[in-house]
Amino acid sequence: MDEKARILQLRDELHRHNHLYYVENQPEISDKEFDDLMRELMELEARHPEMFDANSPSQRVGSDLNNDFEQVEHRYPMLSLANTYNRADVQAFYERVSNGLGGEPFDICCELKYDGLSISLTYEEGQLVRAVTRGDGVKGDDVTANVKTIRSIPLRLTGHYLPSFEIRGEILMPWSSFESLNAERARCEQPLFANPRNAASGTLKSKNSAVVAQRRLDAYFYYLLGDKLPGNSHLDNMSEARNWGFKVSDAMRRVHNVDELFEFIDYWDRERSQLPVATDGIVLKVDSLSQQQRLGYTAKTPRWAIAYKFQAERACTRLNNVIYQVGRTGAVTPVAEMEPVLLAGTMVKRASLHNQDIMEQLDLHIGDQVYVEKAGEIIPQIVGVNLDERPMLLGDRVSFIKRCPECGTPLVRYPGEAASYCPNDVDCPPQLKGRIEHFISRDAMNIDSLGPETVDEYFEKGLIHDAADLYRLRVEDLSGAWGTKIKSARKIVESIDRSRQVPFECSLYALGIRFVGKVVAKLLARHFSTLDALMQAGTEELMSVDGVGEIIAGSIRTYFSDPRNLDLVARLREAGVCFEMTSSSEPTSDLLVGQSIVISGVFEKHSRDEYKHIIEQHGGKNSSSISSKTSFILAGSNMGPAKLEKARSLGVRIVSEDEFLAMLS
């Protein structure tokens, strides 16, 4: 086959596998096989620039080119929905519709209200031509380049699609991506996203589509528009769109009366916690398009649809104090201390106030009754003050501190950043201790016999000042004068000793360079192979690494231009810490050849992606759905009840994280 024909064949295959993986959840090939096909396609495309196709699967990786968004007018304005919060309003909507239709029978299509950001896609002749955000409803931003990186959005349609149409849906960041993104940001002491919606929105507005590609967004579709649609039923039209390749939720039901409608609402109010993405309510739509047309629109919203919003979990409690925590990079976070209150099943007594701007907007006073919410968010948030309950004897207005609470140094704010920093990284104790704690953490040097308390103690007693001092510790030092039991002392020294062998990506991450989280450390380690090469790299070379932009490159350069950091690195090297890729960094075997493995739940020792990688390194195949062909399920905590039941009914073995790692050791 000639290369051009092979390009076309690879594009077809990759489009199909993309759909199987991201829309159907039924992959047929392993991630590695997919990557191999993609690599082949990209190599061939590079050799044949005349074969460029803006919708080739290779375009999904995004690019580092800075794209400013062009404003585009919507062909059909993007309206919003009227919100209701109680059953009486739902009942009233039902009656309004019935009256509006002169008492004729009608069906309602019930569906989930996805909590992300809306997007409108235009397709011509089966090809995605444009993706535009809602904007002000009349005009939005053209975010086509970014949207193309979302794997569940078809770039090319299949089946009997309409020649020209628009489809609207919601772009979402799944909980799993949101959690790992925030965990990564926490490690780099970057401000956290409050919820998946903000994270998705921040991501979609990114000027660098390669960043969007890494963030693993998803999209569900719920509204088809065009001059001529397949049929007169909204639900049937959406099922058609599913056949063309769109991700349309199965959680849609056509109901014939109010009772069935409330059944749907009650069911999903309970079950939505099991969904992979955030939802904040139910949308009710008159199913017949001709009836929709007769009901028409008010100025802002359709009369044929309404949103019923789930109750956010909210509580009201007293604000007792605001404290300030100083992290390893000197970032200062305000934290509210409150009278303990029950919220979404847990007692809450602290809430992050994120940063100076967010905190000051709330106009908090000590003693205020504050509203705390936990809706989609993981971290409880103070959303406002109950002014009706403001006490007569009000405490002081809370204003952000000007000096570091730990060392008294005046705080600084860098341009464009929301966080405030203590710039005294030389002797501000929490920064020094924080750096050692980061160094020993599991994803870094994995010195698991030492915890933050022990580090704190050794630091306070002057036994260690920085990470390199750890390698000078001897059993006698710890067990003698310092009172650690001999057995523990031995364990500590042993695990420090073992840490000399951790892979380069971990020792690099352990240095705690600002913005160099786990993912970036891995990319850098693979690209440069040795610390020396990384230290010598100029900004341009650093930025040639996928995922490294100007800010990260600048931070790396700054780190290695500081003589104190060079001294630390030199002492770590002297102590035998490994700062280069070794062949053992990539263990491979055929222990899992022929095995099809499903990963489910939350893990402690490695991330899901790392487990996928480990499975492939040992010759196994990752699969996302359980079937009789599944060899076993690698299960972390919180495995969904539906999956558990399915595994039981098929007699598929469930293997814990520890058992799995033992299998490979």
Active site residues: 113
**Residues 9-48: b if buried by 16+ CB within 10 A, e if exposed:** ebbeebbebbbbbbbeeebebbbbebeebbeebeebbeee
Q: Which of residues 268-287 bind ligand IVH (CB under 6 A)?
A: 283
Contacts with ligand IVH, 125-154, as mask; x by CB under 6 A: ---------x--------------------
Ramachandran bin of 374, using left for φ above 0, alpha for ψ from -120 to 50, beta for the remaining angles: beta
By 3-state DSSP, what share of the chain in percent is helix, strand and coil, each rounded to 5? 40, 20, 40
Considering the complex, what minimum distance in angstroms separates the CB of residue 237 from ligand IVH? 13
Query: What number of chain residues touch ligand IVH (CB under 6 A)?
Result: 15
- Is the Cβ of residue 190 or residue 288 nearer to ligand IVH in the bound state? 288
Distance CA 241, CA 244 (A): 5
Residue 489 is a binding residue for ligand IVH (CB under 6 A): no
Q: Would you count residue 69 as binding ligand IVH (CB under 6 A)? A: no
200 vs 634, beta carbon nearer ligand IVH: 200
The rounded distance, in Å, linking the Cα atoms of 470 and 574 is 12
Query: E strands, 188-345, where?
Result: 218-225, 252-255, 279-286, 305-309, 313-326, 331-343
Closest Cα to residue 29, out of 621, 500, 524? 621
With tokens 């405030």, the residue in question is 420
**Minimum CB–partner distance for residue 172 and ligand IVH (Å):** 9
- Report in angstroms how near the CB of residue 298 gets to ligand IVH at its nearest: 11
Cα–Cα distance between 528 and 653 in angstroms, integer? 41
- Whichever of 114 and 459 has its CB closer to ligand IVH, that residue is 114
Measured from the CB atom, is 22 or 114 closer to ligand IVH?
Answer: 114
Q: What are the beta bridge partners of residue 597?
A: 622, 632
The answer to whether the beta carbons of residues 637 and 602 sit under 8 Å apart is yes
- Sign for the pseudo-dihedral over CA of 350, 355, 356, 361: negative
Q: Please give the residues from 436 up to 455 whose contact with ligand IVH meets the rule CB under 6 A.
A: none
Q: 281, 251 in Cβ contact below 8 A? A: no
Q: Check binding of 307 to ligand IVH (CB under 6 A).
A: yes
**Whole-number minimum distance, CB 111 to ligand IVH, in Å?**
4
Among residues 219, 241, 221, the alpha carbon closest in space to that of 229 is found at 241
Q: How far apart are CA 643 and CA 465, in angstroms?
A: 49
Out of 9, 25, 26, 80, name the contact with ligand IVH by CB under 6 A: 80
Identity of the residue, 222 or 268, whose beta carbon is nearer to ligand IVH in the bound complex? 222
81 binds ligand IVH (CB under 6 A): yes
Return the amino acid letter for 49.
P
- Positive or negative, the CA dihedral 423, 429, 432, 433 is negative
Name which of 262 and 579 has its Cβ closer to ligand IVH: 262
Contact set for ligand IVH, span 565-594 (CB under 6 A):
none
Q: Binding to ligand IVH (CB under 6 A): which residues in 12-41? A: none
Closer by beta carbon to ligand IVH, 115 or else 437? 115
Instruction: Determine if 534 is a binding residue for ligand IVH (CB under 6 A).
Output: no
Q: Are 319 and 367 in contact (CB under 8 A)?
A: yes
Smallest gap from residue 234 Cβ to ligand IVH (A): 10
Report helix angle 608-617 to 31-47, nearest 10: 80
The residue range among 180-188, 301-309, 454-462, 552-560 that interacts with ligand IVH, by the rule CB under 6 A, is 301-309
Closest to ligand IVH by CB, 111 vs 368, is 111
Q: Report the residue number, 302 or 554, with the smaller CB distance to ligand IVH.
A: 302
Single residue of 79, 258, 341, 644 touching ligand IVH by CB under 6 A = 79
Residue 149 CB neighbours (<10 A): 24
Contact 222, 248 (CB under 8 A): yes
**Contact pattern from residue 224 through residue 263 relative to ligand IVH, giving x for each residue in contact according to CB under 6 A and a dash for the rest:** ----------------------------------------
Report the interhelical angle of 196-204 vs 175-187 (nearest 10°): 80
Question: Hey, what are 279's tokens?
Answer: 């939802």
- Which residue's CB is nearer to ligand IVH, number 172 or number 455? 172
The DSSP symbol for 444 reads T
Which range touches ligand IVH (CB under 6 A), out of 76-84, 140-148, 179-187, 445-453?
A: 76-84
Shortest Å, Cβ 223 to ligand IVH: 5
Tell me the two tokens of residue 8: 């076309």
Which residue matches tokens 């996203």? Answer: 193
Burial class of residue 51 in the structure, from the number of CB atoms within 10 Å of its CB (0-12 exposed, 13-18 middle, 19+ buried)? middle
With binding defined as CB under 6 A, does residue 223 bind ligand IVH?
Answer: yes
**Computed over its alpha carbons, how large is the radius of gyration of the chain?**
28
Residue from 34, 193, 222, 439 binding ligand IVH (CB under 6 A)? 222
Q: Minimum distance between the CB of residue 134 and ligand IVH, rounded to whole angstroms?
A: 6
Residue 310 CB, shortest distance to ligand IVH, in Å, is: 12
Q: Which stretch binds ligand IVH (CB under 6 A): 74-82, 190-198, 317-325, 539-547?
A: 74-82
CB of 115 to ligand IVH, least distance (A): 7
Angle between the N-to-C axes of helices 87-100 and 258-271, in degrees from 0 to 180, rounded to the nearest 10: 140
Q: Does 379 bind ligand IVH (CB under 6 A)?
A: no
**Closest distance between ligand IVH and the C-beta of residue 464, in Å?**
53
Q: Nearer Cβ to ligand IVH, position 307 or 598?
A: 307
When CB distances to ligand IVH are compared, the closest residue is 118
302 in contact with ligand IVH (CB under 6 A): yes
Each residue 93-132 as x (binds ligand IVH by CB under 6 A) or -, in order, gives ------------------x-xx---x--------------
Distance in angstroms (rounded) separating the CA atoms of residues 65 and 85: 44
Q: CA 556, CA 545: separation in Å to the nearest integer? A: 13
Name the 3-class secondary structure at 156.
strand
- Least distance CB 281 / ligand IVH (angstroms): 8
**Distance of alpha carbon 116 from alpha carbon 298, whole angstroms:** 24
Binding mask 147-186 for ligand IVH (x = CB under 6 A): -----------------------x----------------
Residue 229 or 581 with smaller CB distance to ligand IVH: 229
* Contacts to ligand IVH by CB under 6 A: 79-81, 111, 113-114, 118, 134, 170, 222-223, 283, 302, 305, 307
